[in-house]
Structure 1
Amino acid sequence: MSMELDELKSAWQTLDRRLADQQALQWQMFRGQHMDRLRLGLRPLRWWQAVQLALGVLVLLWGVCVWSSHLHTPMALASGIALQVFGTLAAVFAGRILGLLNRIDYASPVLDIQRRLAQLRRWRVRVEAPVFAALGSVIWIPVMLVLIQYDFDRQGHDYWDQAPGLLLWMLLCAAVSLAVVALAYGLVRYLGKRRWMEDQFAGACVTRAERMLDEIARFERE
C-alpha cells in the first residue's frame, strides 16, 4: 500500500512538472509572438525618425548656406540661422528618439520594457510635441523670407528696405498661429481630452506597444 502511494505521488509530481513545462513553453511562445509584433509595431516610428534625421540635416545645411552667403543682408542672415537651428533641433530630437528605441531590450522583463516606453512617451509628449508645435507655427516665416531673398538675388537687387510691411504681416500671422495652437491646447484640456491629446503626441506606434505590453503583463500574472 505504501509503495502504491509512493508511485501515485511520483506520478503526480511528474504530471505537475510536465504541466509546468507546458505552461512555461506556452508562455515563451506567447511572449515571443507578442515581442515580435511589438518590434514590428515600433518599426514605422524608427523609419520616420531616420527620415526626420536626414531632413533635419538637410535643413541645417540649407540654413548654413543661406546665412554664410548673405552675411551683409540681416534678413537673410537671421532666416538662415533660424533654419539652421530648426534643422539642428529636428536632427537632435530624431536622434534622441532613435536612442530611446535602441535602449529597448525585448528579452528583458516586461516591466523594464514598459519603463522604457514610458520614458519615450514622456519625451514625445512633454518635450518634442510642445517644441515642434511652437516652431511649426513660425518656421514658415524664415522659409518664405529665404525664398524671397532668392528672388532678389536673381534680380540683382535687395528691396527689403522697401517692403517693411511684408515682414510685419508675417510676424502677425505667426502670432496668430501661436495663439491658435495655445487655444487648441487649452480647449482640448477643458473638454477633458488631455489623455487623447497625449496619445496623439506619443504616436500610434507607442500607444499600440503599450497596450500590447499590458496584455503580456496580464497573461504573465494569470
Structure 2
Amino acid sequence: MELDELKLAWQTLDRRLQQSNELSLHLLRESRIDKARASLRPLFWGQVVQLVVGFVLTVTFARFWIAHTDSLALLVSGLLMHAWSVGLIVSAVMELLLLTRIDYARPVLTIQKSLLHLRLWRTRVAPWLGLPFWLLWMPLMAIAFEWLFGAPIDDSVYYVGVPIGIAGLLATLWWYRWTHQPQRRHVGQALDEGNAGRGLARAQAALDEIVRFERE
C-alpha cells in the first residue's frame, strides 16, 4: 500500500512539474513574441516612411522630366531618378508585405522562417538599391542645378564622374563577393548583420530563447 501511494505521489508530482513547465513555456513564449513584435515595429514604420518618400520623389521627378522633354540631358536625368524612386517604393512595399505576413500565432519555427525571408530580403536585395548611386549622383546633380540655378551642369562632371562611378560600382561588387567568400565568412556576416538591422536581430534572438527553453 505504501508503494502504491508513493507511485501516486510521484505521478502527481510529475504531472504538476509538467504543468509548471508548460505554464513557464507559455509565459516565456508570450513575452518573447511581444518582444519580437516590438523589435520589428521601428522597421515597419521606417518602411512606411520610405514608401511615402518614394511616392513624393516619384511624383517630383515625373513632373520634372515631363517639364523638360526639350532637353535630352534633363529628360534622361529625370527618367533615371524617376525609375530609382519607383524602385524605392517597390522595396518598401515588399518589405512591408514580409512584415505584415508574419503570423505571431503560428509555431515558433514558422515565425522564424518568416523572419528568415525578411532577413534575406534586407541582406540580399534591398542593399542593392543604393548601388546605382555611384552613377545616379550625376543626374541628381543635373536636376538640382536646374532647380536652383536654371542652368545645366558642366559636361566635365560627366567626363570625370562616369569613369569614377563605374570604377566604384565594380569595386563595390568585388568587395561584396570578396567579403562573402567562405574564408572571410565573419566579415560577410558582419555586413549582413548591419544590413539586417538591430531590430530584426533582437526579434530573432527573442525567438531563439523560446527554442532553447523548449529543448531544455
TM-score > 0.5 by shorter chain: yes
Structure number, greater radius of gyration? 1
Runs of 4+ in 1 over 6 A off after TM superposition: none
Task: Give the drift of 1:29.
Answer: 0.8
Percent sequence identity over aligned pairs: 36
**Alignment root-mean-square deviation, CA:** 2.1
Q: Which residue of 2 aligns with 1:218?
A: 212
Match of 2:203 among 189, 198, 209: 209
Q: 2:71 aligns with which of 67, 70, 73?
A: 73
Of stretches 136-145 and 69-78 in structure 1, the one that deviates more from structure 2 is 136-145
| Cα distance in 2, alignment partners of residues 207 and 177 from structure 1 | 30
Distance 1:13 1:159, change over 3 A: closer
Shift of 1:173: 3.2
Equivalent residue pairs, number:
213
SS of 1:139's equivalent in the other structure is helix
- In the alignment, is the contact (CA less than 8 A) between 1:53 and 1:91 conserved in 2? yes
Residue identity opposite 1:62 in structure 2: T
Matched, 1:149 2:146: yes
Take 1:136 and 1:32, find their aligned partners in 2: how far apart are those partners? 43
Aligned to 1:30: 28
- The match for 2:111 among 108, 113, 117 is 113
Of the candidates 190, 198, 222, which is equivalent to residue 192 of structure 2?
198
Kept in 2: contact 1:42–1:209 (CA 8 A) = yes
* C-alpha contact (below 8 Å) 1:31/1:216 kept by paired residues: yes
Partner of 1:173: 164
Q: 1:56-106: CA deviations, max 9, x gaps?
A: 111111110111101111111111111111111111101111110111111
Aligned partner of 2:136 among 136, 139, 142: 139
Q: Helix, strand or coil: the match of 1:52?
A: helix
Change in 2 beyond 3 A, CA 1:151/1:16: closer
Higher relative contact order (CA 8 A, sep 6+): 2
Q: Letter of the 1:91 partner, please give it.
A: I
Deviations 1:4-35 (A, max 9, x none): 55544443333332222211111111111111
Whether contact under 8 Å (2:36, 2:204) holds in the other structure is no
| Structure 2 counterpart of 1:93, from 84, 91, 94 | 91
The amino acid of 2:87's aligned partner reads L
Structure 1 unaligned regions, length at least 5: none
TM-score scaled by length of structure 2: 0.88
Quote the offset at 1:151 in angstroms. Answer: 4.4
1:118 is displaced (CA, Å) by 0.9
Q: State the alpha-carbon separation in 1 of the partners of residues 158 and 148 from structure 2.
A: 16
CA distance in 2, matches of 1:89, 1:21: 52
8 Å Cα contact 1:62-1:80 kept in structure 2:
no
Contact 1:97 1:120 in 2 (8 A): yes
TM-score by length of 1: 0.86
Deviation string, structure 1 residues 119-145 (Cα, Å, up to 9, x no partner): 11111222112x224223222222101
